[in-house]
Amino acid sequence: MNEQPIRLTTPLSDDDIMRLHAGDAVLLSGVIYTARDAAHKRLIELIEHGKELPLDVRGQVIYYCGPTPARPGQVIGSAGPTSSYRMDPRTPQLIALGLKGTIGKGPRSEGVKQALREHKAPYFAAIGGAGALLAQTIKSAQVMAYEELGPEAIRRLEVVEFPLHVACDCHGGDVYSR
C-alpha cells in the first residue's frame, strides 16, 4: 500500500492498473461516467442485441452514482456513491469490453472480482455520506444517455483529484476481505 495518493488520469491503461494495490489512496482526474441499476440494465440489453453502446467503455471508469439536482451556480448536486452489489450481475460484461474501473461503496461479488483480475481493472471505493464533498471535485456534468431516467441517466463528469481508495485490485487484493 502506497502512503502518498496515486494520481491517475482517465482513460486508464493496464500500466496504470497494475501499479494499484488494495488500500491505495487515489486522486482521479479526467472523465468518468455515472451509471446505476437502470442504466446498467439498458447497457447490457444493447450488448446482448449486438448494438452499439452510447459510450465507448474502453479505458473508462463508471461511478455508481445518482446525483441530486444542482443548485443555482453549481455544476451538480450531491454526488455520493451507491451500493455496488446491485450492479454485480452486469459488471463483468462491461469489464470484458474494456471498462477499466468502477467506483462505488461496499464489497463486490466473486464474479466481479474474477473479472477485475482477468481483465486488469480495479474497483475503487468512494466515501459514502460524503456526496457534497465529492461533488466539489466535479468540474462539469453532462447527460450522455437515458435522460428520462433522471438521476440514473448516464452522465459524463469531468473530475479533478476525485478522492478514492482501491477496494479490489487486479492482483486479487480486497480490502473487504481483510
Q: Give me 60's grid cell.
A: 473508462
Catalytic residue selected from 40, 49, 165, 171 = 40
Q: Give me 26's grid cell.
A: 487515489
> Running DSSP on this structure, what letter comes out for residue 149?
G
Pick from 121, 24, 154, 134: nearest CA to 78: 134
Annotated active-site residue 40? The verdict is yes
Q: How far is the C-alpha of 39 from the C-alpha of 51, rounded, in Å?
A: 15
Q: What is the dihedral of CA 85, 92, 59, 5, to 10 degrees?
A: 40
The helix or strand, by DSSP H or E, that contains position 132, with its residue range, turns out to be helix 131-135
Residues 6+ apart with CB under 8 A from 150: 66
Place of cell 454526488: 79
> Taking CA 92 as the corner, what is the angle to CA 165 and CA 30, rounded to the nearest 5 degrees?
45
Q: Which residues are catalytic?
A: 40
